[in-house]
């Protein structure tokens, strides 16, 4: 029995999802349009009907890689920032980072490949995801410094330090399988938040 014909939107999604899996598996240099077309079950010209250039495809991968999760997470984080509770804000931030990485396992592999291969996707990711969150966290830290809650520190560096701590935990826990911290993810996040906030406390 012949498989039902995909709509244009469904075929586009199939191409993007398959491309993300392929590039996460073999890198951008190893992932050819021929192999991508084969995995999707179409011809190469069909790929170009949806994406005229590889840059268009790379941008679509970033847009579709958990975009809804990212937008929802950003809105939640902005609400927590407005509420002004440091422990709640950083616990939420760490939880969102961990859940995003766990729910989009190919995403970090794509970013690592793009950085190692000096690929344009790294810049797209930074501008559309990492930079946005970093700005929210930096602004929150600056606000807490102005209120006298945090001592004076380099706010952008502090934001990067906390985000990096959580990312390091997730990389080793999820992608390398090294359980460097023998506790649940929730308890690990609680410890990271406690360590970070005690370091910033204005005493």
Domain count across the chain:
2
**115 in a structural domain:** yes
Question: Which pLDDT score, from 0 to 100, does residue 3 have?
Answer: 46
Residues 53, 134 within the same domain: no
Same domain, 131 and 195: yes
Domain boundary among 37, 64, 91: 64
**What is the CATH number for 48?**
1.10.10.60
**Nearby residues of 23 by Cβ (< 8 Å), 6 or more positions away:** 31, 61, 110, 113
What separation, in Å, do the N-terminal and C-terminal C-alpha atoms of the chain show? Answer: 72
CATH number at residue 148: 1.10.357.10
**Containing domain of residue 119, as a range?**
67-200
pLDDT digits (tens, 9 = 90+) for 16-50: 889 888 887 887 777 888 899 999 999 999 999 99
- Tell me whether residue 1 is in a domain: no
Instruction: Write the pLDDT tens digit of every residue in 136-147.
Output: 999 999 999 999
Residues 125 and 136 in one domain: yes
Tell me what pLDDT residue 197 has.
96
The helix or strand, by DSSP H or E, that contains position 178, with its residue range, turns out to be none
Q: 3 in a domain, yes or no?
A: no
Q: Which pair of structure tokens corresponds to residue 174? A: 């999820």
**Amino acid 62: pLDDT:** 73
**Confidence at residue 52, expressed as pLDDT on a 0 to 100 scale:** 87
């Amino acid at each position: 029995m012949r498989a039902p014909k995909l709509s244009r939107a469904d075929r586009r999604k199939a191409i993007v999802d398959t491309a993300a899996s392929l590039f996460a598996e073999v890198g951008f240099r190893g992932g050819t349009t021929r192999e991508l077309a084969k995995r999707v079950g179409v011809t190469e010209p069909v790929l170009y009907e949806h994406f005229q250039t590889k840059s268009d495809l790379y941008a679509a991968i970033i847009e579709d890689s958990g975009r809804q999760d990212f937008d929802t997470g950003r809105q939640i984080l902005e609400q927590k920032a407005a509420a002004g509770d440091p422990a709640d804000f950083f616990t939420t931030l760490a939880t969102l980072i961990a859940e995003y990485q766990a729910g989009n396992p190919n995403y970090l592999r794509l970013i690592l490949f793009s950085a190692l291969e000096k690929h344009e996707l790294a810049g797209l990711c930074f501008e559309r995801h990492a930079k946005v969150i970093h700005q929210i966290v930096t602004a929150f830290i600056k606000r807490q410094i102005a209120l006298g809650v945090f001592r004076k520190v380099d706010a952008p560096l502090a934001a990067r330090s906390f985000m990096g701590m959580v990312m390091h935990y997730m990389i080793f826990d999820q992608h390398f399988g090294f359980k460097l911290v023998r506790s649940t993810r929730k308890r690990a996040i609680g410890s990271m938040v406690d360590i970070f906030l005690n370091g910033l406390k204005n005493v």
